């Protein structure tokens, strides 16, 4: 199945939705790391959630979802751009219990940051007060958009998928329509969400409803790291500190946590870097 996000609307009332299914892009994220299944599945759900969220807002740039808690799943970052380019990583310490999300992430919060190319940022925060990832995302919608929204998320080693339905302001629906759509969607099994194509899933769930499915948008894995960005960070550290590491280790090395790209700077590179020349063409810059 291709990695795609579909939008859909119900023709006769003010309810819209999105459905997303990832396989190649999701495998590109996981094959670079040796994640515990429980950590991997949370990361998949986070990537699906941030991509769904990125398609509900009009913006240019990237949307970043971060989980910040005191549990064993210390770090989780998922990012989607307005062009649906995604990347993500997670870091756990010790064993991560399955089941309730709060036993994995602990006491904490989910932070969503929209970052424009100009550097302008908007941030939204919601506490981790649900047992499931979808519950946290729904709480975020309730708080930030104040549009009733329901979310279903699933991930395993092969695929990651999600469904969103959202009630629009000033729609022609009544509570009955909204309840019926949510009730149908609630019959969705995890395996169905992961294995069926979006078209097939929507047909199964909302068979009797007049539903318009829009052309899909492709979703792909892409890491935005670059040698120039690492160089910028090194310049930010200052010459003195960089020279101290150089004396101690002979060269400076950095690995991208998202894609595992390896960057190395030797004494000549560092000289060029602080002289302001580009180091982009250095031959062994990326392995």
Residues that bind Zn ion (CB under 5 A): 223, 225, 256, 258-259, 261
Output the smallest distance, CB 181 to Zn ion, in A.
Answer: 39
CA 137 – CA 49 distance, rounded (Å): 7
Q: Nearest distance from residue 132's CB to Zn ion, in Å?
A: 29
- Taking the C-alpha atoms of residue 166 and residue 148, their distance in angstroms, rounded to an integer, is 6
**What is the SS3 assignment for 209?**
coil
- Rounded CA-CA distance 108/45 in Å is 18
- Closest CB to Zn ion among residues 47, 153: 47
Residue among 103 and 260 whose Cβ is closer to Zn ion: 260
Nearer to Zn ion, 32 or 84 (CB): 32
Q: Closest distance between Zn ion and the C-beta of residue 43, in Å?
A: 15
Taking the complex as a whole, how short is the minimal distance between the CB of residue 287 and Zn ion, in angstroms? 12
Give the nearer residue to Zn ion in terms of CB position, either 43 or 225: 225
- Read off the tokens for 216: 């899909």
Minimum CB separation from Zn ion for residue 258, in Å? Answer: 4
CA distance linking residue 14 with residue 18, whole number of Å: 14
CA separation for the pair 63, 73 (Å, rounded): 21
Phi, psi of 184 (to 5 degrees): -60, -45
Phi, psi (5° rounding) for residue 167? -90, 125
CA geometry: angle 44, 46, 48, nearest 5 deg: 70
Distance of closest approach, residue 248 Cβ to Zn ion, in angstroms: 25
Specify the residue, 50 or 225, whose C-beta has the smaller distance to Zn ion.
225
C-beta neighbour count of 220 within 10 angstroms: 15
């Amino acid at each position: 199945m291709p990695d795609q996000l579909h939008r859909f609307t119900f023709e006769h009332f003010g309810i819209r939705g999105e459905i997303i299914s990832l396989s190649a892009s999701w495998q590109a994220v996981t094959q670079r790391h040796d994640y515990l299944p429980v950590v991997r599945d949370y990361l998949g759900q986070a990537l699906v959630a941030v991509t769904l969220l990125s398609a509900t807002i009009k913006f240019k740039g990237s949307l970043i979802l971060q989980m910040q808690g005191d549990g064993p799943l210390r770090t989780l970052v998922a990012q989607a751009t307005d062009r649906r380019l995604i990347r993500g990583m997670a870091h756990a310490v010790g064993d991560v219990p399955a089941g309730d999300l709060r036993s994995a992430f602990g006491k904490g919060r989910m932070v969503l940051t929209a970052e424009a190319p100009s550097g302008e940022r908007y941030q939204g925060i919601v506490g981790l007060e649900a047992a499931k990832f979808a519950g946290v995302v729904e709480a975020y919608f309730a708080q930030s958009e104040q549009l009733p929204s329901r979310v279903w998320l699933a991930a395993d080693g092969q695929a990651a998928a999600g469904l969103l339905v959202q009630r629009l302001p000033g729609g022609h629906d009544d509570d009955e329509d909204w309840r019926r759509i949510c009730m149908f969607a609630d019959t969705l099994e995890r395996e169905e969400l992961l294995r069926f194509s979006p078209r097939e899933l929507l047909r199964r769930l909302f068979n009797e409803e007049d539903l318009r499915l829009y052309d899909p948008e492709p979703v792909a894995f892409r890491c935005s790291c670059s040698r120039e960005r690492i160089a910028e960070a090194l310049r930010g550290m200052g010459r003195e500190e960089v020279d101290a590491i150089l004396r101690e280790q002979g060269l400076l090395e950095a690995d991208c946590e998202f894609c595992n790209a390896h960057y190395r700077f030797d004494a000549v590179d560092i000289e060029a870097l602080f002289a302001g020349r580009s180091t982009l063409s250095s031959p062994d810059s990326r392995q």
